[in-house]
Every structure is written in structure tokens, then in C-alpha cells.
Structure 1
Amino acid sequence: MKSRGFTLIELLVAITIMAIVAVLGWRGLDTIIRSRVALNEELEHTRGLQLAFAQMQSDAGHIAKRDDLGRREVLSVQPGRLTLVRMVFTENQPSRAQVIAYRIDAGVLTRRESVATRDLKELDAAWTAALTDKADVPAVALHSGIDEMAIRSWVDRDWRPAGTEGVPGPGGTIIPATGLEVSLQLRARPERLIKIFLLGTA
């Protein structure tokens, strides 16, 4: 019995089917790769924000007390700007104070810290330099893609707008802020990322 091979039409049909299967498989693989890249970018983005908030929480937890610094200001809250004095505790060394400044600069959240000191005149100079953005220490970029940073202060059992770091209390005392709400508006995202920190809890 004479064996019969494939006809040209059968070969073309088989090749066409294989080509279709290959294209479908490639598109599926391409979709998986794109999804993985997007997921990795989102994870990296989220991790960066978590680290920035963790640093901010640490600074807020170690904020200095006004009475310990001769009733000096230790907190300044403005839109896109957060400045505070934190205490630094190093093993086998006395406690020192340093000025921390968070800023939104061209869509980048930055953090700048002064040299830790026990000299109140040096602290005053560092505080003034931070408020006027004339500090000579370099800023560290924490995260990019941020259009706005709004901050509210928790003072005397109520949220207060930026610029309120304390309210008058009885006997001419000042009731200081005990918490901060930091709200970040991320670029190209409708939702805002909000984090609340307690002050002086560390």
C-alpha cells in the first residue's frame, strides 16, 4: 500500500494554526510581563512612601519639649513644610538637639537635618536657617512624584490648620500640638495618602 504524505494545503493549515497559537501565547506572556513590571513599580513606590513616613514618625516621636529648651519653638507647620526640633540620644553621650526640615521641592519630598548640638545659640541659628531655607547642609530626597503636602496639628482635642502649633492655655501657658496629620497628594493619582503621627511618644 502506497504511503500518502501531507498535501500543501494541510501543511499551510497546520502552519497557520501554529502561528495563531504562537501569537496568542506571546500576547499572554507579554501581558504577564507588563503586569509584573507595573506591580514591581507599585511595590517600590509604596515601599518608598512607607520609609518616608517611618522616618517622619521617628522624628515626630523624638520631638523636643519647649520647656527643656528654654521655651523655644520646636515645631513649625506650613503647607508643604514641616520643621521640628528633635532630641538625639546616642549611647554614652549626653542628649543633643537637632533641627529637622521636611520640604516639597519640585515634586520631591526632602529631609534635611542640622548638626546635633547642646549649644542653644547653635540651635537657634539652625532653626532660623531651616525656616528660611538657608541651611548649608544637603537635603536627602525621600520620595518623588508628590504634588502637595498638607499638614494639620492636633491641638487641645481638635485638628487645627497649618500654622497652629499651639493654643493659649490657662495662666498664659501654651497648649502644644500632640499630633500631626500629614496628607500627601501623589502625582497622577486622585486619592491622597494620609498618615497620623503622635508627637513626643518615643
Structure 2
Amino acid sequence: MKRIARSDRGLRGNTRQRGFTLLEMLIAIAILAVIAVLSWRGLDSVIRGRATISNAMEDERVIAQLFDQMRIDARQAATDDEAGQPAVQIGNGSLQIVRGVFAPGTPPRLQVVRYRLSNGQIVRYASPPLANVGEVRRALSSGDSTGGWSAIPLMGGVGSLATRVYIPDKGWTTRMSDVLSQINQNDNNLKVPQLGNAPLPRAVSGIQVAVGAHNLQVPLTRVFLVGE
């Protein structure tokens, strides 16, 4: 019997591998490009979010440090009698406190502290420890740029620093004349025989500070007790 030759042309045609068309390649490239753009935008959003959070945390730390230092100075404020003048003075975007300095192994001293807005920064100026009222007066007359004063910037980007003080039985005021009037009244009250041995009351029992900054929608306001 004569053998019949089988053709494998069809078999070879069925097993031939088919490649990607140009259109399919373009679609794949477009999909990968979209995925890359979305990934980049997501990463950029995460980085920006982290930067925003870090900046906000740093701002909160600076603000907390500023108000904590003010609270400490107000709490350590001397009396008007010890300072030989109003222990707390305000005006022209500044706050001045005559406070006590208490270090182990040394006698109590006085110190003049000033918070002042200068070139968009709140700067804390502090005199060296002072032994008596006379040294306090000399320190005040010499200014805070000489005589061993320290200057520490506490907060930048500040647009305003507003202060007012609380006088018992009279309320809040921004006028130092009200403070001086209260000191005179307290001094006159001590001339009454029944109150002759009583200590001179504080003319100011509270301080309110409002800080306005470029990154704040509204000023931040804090109230500090004096000598507490």
C-alpha cells in the first residue's frame, strides 16, 4: 500500500506565536503613564502633608514655649513694694515684669524682664540678677542693650503684641495711669491704723496677652495670674 504523505503546514500555522500590535503597546504605555502620574501625585501629597504637619507642630511648640515663659515670669513677679514701682508695666507692644530670681544657695534677687515686638519677632530681654531696688532703677534707666542684659527671640512672624492688665475691683485696663492710681490707693489704705501692718496689695493681679501672627487667622490670647 502506498503511504500518504501528511502535510504539517496547518499544524505549523496554528502554533505560530502572535505578538502585540502597535495599538496594544500604545495602550499599555498610556496605562503605565497614568499609573506613574497617580503614584507621583499621591507621593507628593503625602510629602506635602507631612511638611504641613511638621510646620504646624513647630509653630505650636514655639507658641507654647512663649506662653510658658510668660506664665513663669508673671508667677514670679515681685510686689510693687519690692520693685519700688509697678511690678508689671505695659504699653507700646511691650510687657515688662520685675520678678524674683530664686537660686539654691544664693539670696533672692530681682530681675527685670521685657517682652517686646521687634522686626516681627517677640524678644525676651532679661537683666542680670539685681540685689535691691536701687539696682532695679539703674537697670531700667540704662536700657536693655547694655549692662549684661540678655536678648532671646522667642517667636517670629508676629504682626502684633497687645497687652492689658487686671486691677482687682476695677477690671481690665490698658492704661498705666490706672495702675499707678491703684498703687497710690493701696498705699493710702495702709495709713489707716487698722491696716498699718498689712502688706501692700498688688495693684495688678492678672495679665492678658494677645499675639497676632501671619500664620494665625485670629490672635492667640492667654491670661496669666500675677504672683501666684
Residues 74, 84 of structure 1: 8 Å contact kept: yes
Give the structure 2 partner of residue 149 of structure 1.
Answer: 161
Residues 79, 162 of structure 1: 8 Å contact kept: no
Give the structure 1 partner of residue 30 of structure 2.
Answer: 16
2:188 aligned to 172, 176, 180, which one? 172
SS in 1 for 2:61: helix
Could you tell me how far 1:16 is from its partner in structure 2?
0.7
Residues 79, 202 of structure 2: 8 Å contact kept: no
Give the structure 2 partner of residue 123 of structure 1.
Answer: 136
Equivalent positions of 1:26-45 (< 5 A) are 26-45=40-59
Residues 151, 183 of structure 1: 8 Å contact kept: yes
**Do residues 190 (structure 1) and 217 (structure 2) align?**
yes
Could you tell me how far 1:72 is from its partner in structure 2?
2.8
SS in 1 for 2:222: strand
d(CA) in 2 for partners of 1:156, 1:139: 32
Give the structure 1 partner of residue 198 of structure 2.
Answer: none
d(CA) in 1 for partners of 2:98, 2:207: 14
- Deviations 1:62-116 (CA, angstroms, capped at 9, x unpaired): 00012234x4331211131111111000011110001001100011000010010
d(CA) in 1 for partners of 2:86, 2:81: 10
Q: Which runs of 5+ in 2 are unaligned?
A: 1-14, 190-200
> How many residues of Structure 1 are paired with residues of Structure 2 in the alignment?
198
RMSD across aligned positions (CA): 1.9
Give the structure 2 partner of residue 93 of structure 1.
Answer: 106
d(CA) in 1 for partners of 2:226, 2:187: 23
CA distance 1:162–1:150, change in 2 (3 Å): farther
CA distance 1:175–1:98, change in 2 (3 Å): closer
d(CA) in 2 for partners of 1:86, 1:14: 74
d(CA) in 2 for partners of 1:148, 1:161: 15
Q: Which runs of 5+ in 1 are unaligned?
A: none
**Do residues 66 (structure 1) and 93 (structure 2) align?**
no
Residues 127, 150 of structure 2: 8 Å contact kept: no
Q: Counterpart of 2:111 in structure 1: which amino acid?
A: Q
- Deviations 1:33-71 (CA, angstroms, capped at 9, x unpaired): 1121121111111110110110111000000012234x4
Give the structure 2 partner of residue 49 of structure 1.
Answer: 63
d(CA) in 1 for partners of 2:116, 2:21: 74
Q: Percent identity?
A: 31
Give the strand-richer structure, 1 or 2. Answer: 1
SS in 1 for 2:17: coil
CA distance 1:33–1:6, change in 2 (3 Å): same
How does the TM-score come out when normalised to structure 2? 0.80
**Do residues 108 (structure 1) and 109 (structure 2) align?**
no
